[in-house]
């Protein structure tokens, strides 16, 4: 248990020149070193801290990915997998330079099997693209992080979204993977069978490993039938506590709500302005969606209205037409951008606490008080049905004191969630920003994670410096 | 035989009654549910708290002593088969339910708690634990986690891995580690998933937080008959393809129906070539709507008869035959060999047809009783070990089924685990690059290979060889226990 991950430095200039030359020879215009492209690949969303790769390459096949990784493995040059760069915790920053493997051109839906309710896609397919290609099959893929991320990136960060309370996260919805290992071999994990007891669960080990254990190139996914009936509604509350208590009671009763989203007064104010939502006040608000048969969805919504009534909630505002529903959820998905628009010129990042539902009220209310006391602009939005919520913390990038204050607030959010039996990250992952919180959360298990990293990537070339502390 | 010094050291940790070394005391532990394999351990240890487990593992680690953890001993793949040079570490005394949090819908339990006891204890809160292996009245939750156990209702509610959120375990070094956490997700690598289904090779489990579900308000079952096996297989695809995930969807073919009907008298249609049992749960309105869809789909799929359960007693009666299938089979054949291959559902008609063909080719009857919704087959090849050549034919038949399962994109074991039984079949499913990763992970947890050695993942060398085993009725333990 003393194994540590091999410490890294940037590769030597000679090694970089060699690998750039080799990649240029093999991939021509698909190996790029221009400043603008390097800059674009040096950061994700969230904190703008940038660390440039030495070269960006755009592979098209599993075999090309394997060949590139073999090359890097030979010379111990870092390899960082990149989808569309929407991750929030600095996952794609090339801390030690190296090769950025941009998988966005591996964007084919390889197979859709309606009878099995599954599909297989390349890593660069985005979630919106997948659902567009599923049109007409009567099926959909529910996981919907705010950004239009790639499926590969979503698998790598174990992403979730507004539907997780009903459909689970990427953990539950990835059936199998094709992965290129650190030494450039192509392995397949899982399969199309719905369950397997054969061997260790490598599928779930790679899901959420943030490109540090292997490069995910193909993903088998579960799909779902589009529900016969979808009802969406909005309910506003006099105070935050009433809204959160509503959620807790609904979960306790086991109402199979498909989406239940909390927006605090500040976030509602931001969304009303940014997405031009009409007829709603800047008050703590819940967005609901009910899926099922006609009778089932209606019954769920009636049960929910009874609970909100008991907590001082307003009458439901229904979004009955599909376009109204789309507008509502677009507004929700744009919450991060709406929050950023509250203070132009400021930067922001999102916290990602997730706690057991029995601690949700304590955690949200303490966090709200903490945010208010900090004097920072920090709206709350979250998938509260599964105990996950975000604080979008804004700060002035030119004011180091304000940035420090923002980072302190975020740290307190993580530690508060951990102290309540929860996690510092429900869906965004660790990246570079939550390494300390990971240790606080997992203690001895972090040593095991390091051992696993060392076992699967002994040369520490895969996304070095992320996910597990050195 | 234990070395005297080692024995003395163990005796400082455990009272004499918890440290068994005499042959008559260790004999009950010589096998699990897979009785073809037997081994006498050097000792059986029965700790009653985590501190003792830690001390035992530290001692075994220092002495390089193999350790096989054991729950209720109901494994069907030899997961708890002792190691002749090692000790059996029984978790049988870890039987406490430590906490129930009805608001968070979780329970903290010790590994020796029976699966069903969790649902019984949480019933007053209107909650239950969803995974329901057929042996749930006897099997322990620790064993369920170790094997990633399934059951009839995992089609809708997931396997063990989907229904636990935190596991506490002790590594071979004696270090205690928490895997996962109490909330929806947990930061970093998914060690919880790695531990679940690791068959006791990575850690000894001492505590588990399970997720609980609210009991569905209403459940109804449909018994659907077909005059053609392939058509029944296609009907499964029709339901799933319509986007309906029933609470359970099980299939039995004619040999199975006949065997079971003689046994439980559930009034199954004896002339049917196959029956499907389909369950729907939820609110009465949801169930009614789903059942209407299912009836329509089944009629379109060529069902010859559809019976809906009229009340709870009839629903239970419908299921009684399915649950008793294992015991019933023993009445019609001296021996049988159960396969656990799992396939994508759309391949069901093709695989069932192939099995039917091979059954005729080998002259061996094969009864199919299985989790159709998951594509988890349980073909039971019926044979008589006393008849010359039948074992070999059975083995060849089973090999072909598993090879076909792999070929259509499936797996050699859906829920019973690899244990010692399917080590060879693993060689067909995984290539050396994949097996190397498995060994690398084992090495990261247990560098000396002391936890449950020789199970779950075949050595690369072993994959050069091939053999197979079977289960015989005469040697089955707990023969009365419902299985599969």
* Mutation for testing the B interface, residue in A166, A180, A200, A451 having most B CBs under 10 Å: A200
The H helix count followed by the E strand count for chain B is 17, 18
Residue A133, pLDDT > 80, answer: yes
Query: For position B392, what pLDDT does the model report?
Result: 87
> Smallest CA–CA separation between B35 and chain A, in Å?
20
Beta carbons of B185 and A169 less than 8 angstroms apart: yes
Tell me the pLDDT of chain A averaged across its residues.
93
Residues A320 and A330: their CA atoms lie apart, in Å, by 15
Residue A4, pLDDT > 70, answer: no
DSSP secondary structure of B13-71: HS-GGGEE-SHHHHGGGS--S-TT-----SEEE---SHHHHHHHHHHHHHHT--EEEES
Q: What is the mean pLDDT of residues A270-277?
A: 93
Q: How many inter-chain contacts (A to B, CB under 8 Å) are there?
A: 278
Of B341, B339, B344, the closest CA to residue B408 belongs to: B344
* Mutation for testing the A interface, residue in B108, B187, B213 having most A CBs under 10 Å: B187
Instruction: Say whether A116 and B440 touch across the interface (CB within 8 A).
Output: no
Q: What is the mean pLDDT of residues A160-188?
A: 93
Q: What is the mean pLDDT of residues A417-424?
A: 94
Beta carbons of B7 and B66 less than 8 angstroms apart: no
A3 band by pLDDT with thresholds 50, 70 and 90: very low
Beta carbons of A431 and A86 less than 8 angstroms apart: no
Decide if B169 touches A, using CB distance below 8 A. no
Given A194, A197, A207, which is nearest B418 (Cβ)?
Answer: A197
* Window 325-364 of A, Cβ < 8 Å to B: 354-359
* Window 50-89 of B, Cβ < 8 Å to A: none
Query: For position B80, what pLDDT does the model report?
Result: 94
Residue A6, pLDDT > 80, answer: no
Give the pLDDT means over successive 10-residue stretches in chain B (484 positions): 91 97 94 85 97 98 97 91 96 97 94 97 96 90 95 91 97 97 89 96 98 93 94 92 91 92 90 95 89 96 96 92 82 85 89 93 93 91 89 87 90 90 85 90 96 92 55 40 45
Beta carbons of B413 and B426 less than 8 angstroms apart: no
Residue in A closest to B372 by C-alpha: A194
* Window 441-480 of B, Cβ < 8 Å to A: 441-445, 456-457
Beta carbons of B152 and B373 less than 8 angstroms apart: no
Query: For position A5, what pLDDT does the model report?
Result: 53
Backbone angles phi, psi at B386, to 5 degrees: -80, -10
Beta carbons of A350 and A336 less than 8 angstroms apart: yes
- Long-range CB pairs of B258-262 (<8 Å, 24+ gap) are B258/B332, B259/B325, B259/B328, B259/B329, B259/B331, B259/B332, B259/B367, B260/B321, B260/B322, B260/B324, B260/B325, B260/B328, B260/B369, B261/B321, B262/B328, B262/B331, B262/B332
Alpha helices in B251-311 (DSSP H): 254-264, 284-300
Q: Is the dihedral of CA B345, B350, B353, B358 positive or negative?
A: negative
Beta carbons of A218 and B464 less than 8 angstroms apart: no
Of B138, B166, B142, B162, the closest CA to residue B150 belongs to: B162
Q: What is the mean pLDDT of residues A37-59?
A: 92
For A370-391, what is each residue's pLDDT tens digit? 999 999 999 999 989 889 999 9
Give me the residue label for tokens 């070269």.
A55
Given B244, B433, B444, which is nearest A185 (Cβ)?
Answer: B433
Tokens of residue B404, six digits: 């076909």
SS3 A176: strand
Decide if B219 touches A, using CB distance below 8 A. no
A20 band by pLDDT with thresholds 50, 70 and 90: very high
Decide if B418 touches A, using CB distance below 8 A. yes
Of A318, A304, A316, the closest CA to residue A252 belongs to: A304
Of A449, A53, A469, A470, the closest CA to residue A213 belongs to: A449
> Smallest CA–CA separation between A143 and chain B, in Å?
15
Instruction: Say whether B241 and A188 touch across the interface (CB within 8 A).
Output: no
A7 band by pLDDT with thresholds 50, 70 and 90: low
Q: What is the mean pLDDT of residues A206-231?
A: 95
Of A293, A284, A226, A297, the closest CA to residue A255 belongs to: A297
Q: Is the dihedral of CA A46, A50, A51, A55 positive or negative?
A: positive
Query: For position A396, what pLDDT does the model report?
Result: 95
* Mutation for testing the B interface, residue in A119, A171, A193, A248 having most B CBs under 10 Å: A193
> Smallest CA–CA separation between B144 and chain A, in Å?
11
Instruction: Say whether A200 and B198 touch across the interface (CB within 8 A).
Output: yes
* Window 109-168 of B, Cβ < 8 Å to A: 147-148, 150, 154-155, 158-159, 161-162
Beta carbons of A255 and A303 less than 8 angstroms apart: yes
Residues A14 and B22: their CA atoms lie apart, in Å, by 68
- Long-range CB pairs of B116-125 (<8 Å, 24+ gap) are B118/B210, B118/B212, B121/B97, B122/B212, B123/B215, B125/B100, B125/B212
Measured N-to-C along each axis, helices A322-333 and A265-275 cross at an angle, to the nearest 10 degrees, of: 120
Q: What is the mean pLDDT of residues A122-134?
A: 97
pTM for the predicted model, two decimal places: 0.92
Q: Which residues, in sequence order, are CB contacts of A144 under 8 Å at separation 6+?
A: A127, A161, A162, A163, A333
Query: For position B330, what pLDDT does the model report?
Result: 79
Residues A231 and A312: their CA atoms lie apart, in Å, by 21
Tokens of residue A467, six digits: 């996910």
**Candidate from A184-188, A332-336, A366-370, B118-122 with smallest mean pLDDT:** A332-336
Of A383, A397, A382, the closest CA to residue A348 belongs to: A397
Percent over 70 (pLDDT), chain A: 99
């Amino acid at each position: 248990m003393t194994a540590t991950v091999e410490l890294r430095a940037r590769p030597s200039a000679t090694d970089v020149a060699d690998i750039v030359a080799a990649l240029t020879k093999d991939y021509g215009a698909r190996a790029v070193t221009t400043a603008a492209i390097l800059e674009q690949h040096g950061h994700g969303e969230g904190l703008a801290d940038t660390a440039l790769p030495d070269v960006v390459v755009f592979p098209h096949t599993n075999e090309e990915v394997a060949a590139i990784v073999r090359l890097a493995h030979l010379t111990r040059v870092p390899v960082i997998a990149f989808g569309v760069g929407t991750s929030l915790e600095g996952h794609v920053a090339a801390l030690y330079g190296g090769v950025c493997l941009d998988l966005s051109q591996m964007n084919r839906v390889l197979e859709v099997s309606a009878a099995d309710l599954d599909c297989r896609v390349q890593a660069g397919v985005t979630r919106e693209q997948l659902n567009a290609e599923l049109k007409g099959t009567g099926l959909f893929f529910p996981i919907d992080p705010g950004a239009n991320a790639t499926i590969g990136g979503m698998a790598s960060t174990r992403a979730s979204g507004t539907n997780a309370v009903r459909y689970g996260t990427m953990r539950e919805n990835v059936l199998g993977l094709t992965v290129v290992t650190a030494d450039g071999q192509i392995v397949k994990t899982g399969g199309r069978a719905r369950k397997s007891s054969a061997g260790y669960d490598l599928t779930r080990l790679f899901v959420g490993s943030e490109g540090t254990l292997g490069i995910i190139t193909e993903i088998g996914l579960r799909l779902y039938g589009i529900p016969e009936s979808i009802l969406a509604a909005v309910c506003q509350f006099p105070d935050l506590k009433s809204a959160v208590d509503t959620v807790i009671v609904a979960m306790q009763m086991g109402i199979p709500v498909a989406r239940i989203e909390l927006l605090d007064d500040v976030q509602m104010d931001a969304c009303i302005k940014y997405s031009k939502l009409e007829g709603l006040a800047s008050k703590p608000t819940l967005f609901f969606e009910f899926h099922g048969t006609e009778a089932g969805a209606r019954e769920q919504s009636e049960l929910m209205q009874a609970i909100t009534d008991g907590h001082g909630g307003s009458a439901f505002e229904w979004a009955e037409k599909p376009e109204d529903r789309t507008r509502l959820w677009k507004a929700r998905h744009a919450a991060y951008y709406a929050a950023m628009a509250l203070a132009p010129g400021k930067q922001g990042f999102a916290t990602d606490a997730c706690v057991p539902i029995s601690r949700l009220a304590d955690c949200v209310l303490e966090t709200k008080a903490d945010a208010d006391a900090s004097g920072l602009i920090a709206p709350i939005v979250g998938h509260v049905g599964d105990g996950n919520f975000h604080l979008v913390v804004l700060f002035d990038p030119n004011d180091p004191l304000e940035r420090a204050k923002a980072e302190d607030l975020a740290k307190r959010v993580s530690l508060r969630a951990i102290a309540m039996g929860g996690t510092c990250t429900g869906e965004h992952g660790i990246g570079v920003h939550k390494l300390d919180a990971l240790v606080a959360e997992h203690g001895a298990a972090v040593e095991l994670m390091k051992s696993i990293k060392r076992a699967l990537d002994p040369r520490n070339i895969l996304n070095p410096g992320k996910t597990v502390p050195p | 035989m234990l070395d005297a010094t080692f024995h003395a050291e163990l005796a400082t940790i455990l009272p004499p009654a918890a440290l068994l070394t005499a042959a008559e005391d260790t004999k009950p532990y010589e096998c699990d549910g897979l009785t073809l394999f037997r081994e006498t351990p050097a000792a059986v240890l029965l700790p009653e708290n985590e501190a003792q487990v830690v001390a035992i593992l530290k001692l075994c680690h220092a002495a390089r002593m193999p350790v096989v953890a054991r729950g209720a001993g109901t494994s069907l793949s030899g997961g708890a088969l002792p190691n002749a040079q090692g000790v059996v570490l029984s978790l049988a005394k870890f039987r406490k339910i430590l906490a129930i949090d009805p608001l968070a819908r979780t329970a903290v339990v010790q590994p020796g708690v029976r699966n069903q006891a969790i649902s019984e204890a949480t019933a007053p809160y209107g909650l239950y634990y969803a995974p329901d292996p057929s042996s749930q009245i006897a099997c322990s939750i620790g064993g369920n986690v170790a094997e990633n156990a399934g059951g009839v209702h995992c089609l809708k509610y997931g396997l063990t891995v989907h229904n636990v959120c935190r596991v506490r375990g002790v590594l071979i070094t004696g270090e205690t580690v928490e895997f996962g956490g109490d909330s929806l997700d947990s930061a970093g690598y998914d060690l919880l998933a790695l531990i679940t289904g690791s068959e006791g090779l990575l850690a000894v489990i001492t505590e588990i937080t399970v997720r609980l579900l609210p009991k569905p308000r209403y459940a109804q079952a449909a018994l659907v008959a077909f005059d053609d096996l392939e058509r029944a297989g296609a009907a499964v695809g029709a339901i799933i393809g319509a986007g309906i995930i029933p609470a359970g969807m099980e299939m039995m073919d004619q040999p199975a129906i006949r065997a079971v009907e003689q046994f439980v008298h559930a009034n199954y249609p004896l002339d049917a070539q196959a029956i499907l049992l389909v369950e729907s749960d939820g609110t009465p309105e949801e169930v009614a709507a789903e059942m209407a869809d299912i009836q329509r789909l089944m009629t379109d799929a060529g069902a010859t008869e559809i019976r809906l359960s009229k009340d709870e007693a009839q629903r239970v009666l419908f299921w009684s035959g399915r649950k008793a299938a294992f015991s019933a089979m023993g009445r019609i054949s001296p021996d049988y060999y159960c396969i656990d291959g799992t396939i994508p559902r759309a391949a069901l008609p093709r695989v069932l047809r192939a099995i039917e063909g091979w059954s005729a080719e080998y002259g061996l009857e094969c009864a199919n009783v299985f989790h159709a919704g998951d594509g988890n087959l349980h073909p039971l090849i019926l044979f008589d070990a006393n008849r010359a050549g039948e074992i070999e034919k059975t083995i060849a038949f089973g090999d072909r089924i598993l090879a076909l399962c792999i070929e259509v994109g499936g797996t050699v074991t859906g829920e019973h685990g690899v244990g010692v039984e399917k080590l060879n079949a693993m060689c067909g499913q995984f290539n050396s690059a994949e097996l190397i990763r498995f060994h690398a992970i084992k090495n990261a947890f247990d560098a000396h290979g002391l936890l449950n050695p020789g199970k779950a993942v075949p050595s690369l060398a072993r994959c050069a060889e091939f053999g197979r085993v079977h289960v015989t009725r005469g040697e089955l333990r707990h023969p009365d226990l419902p299985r599969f």
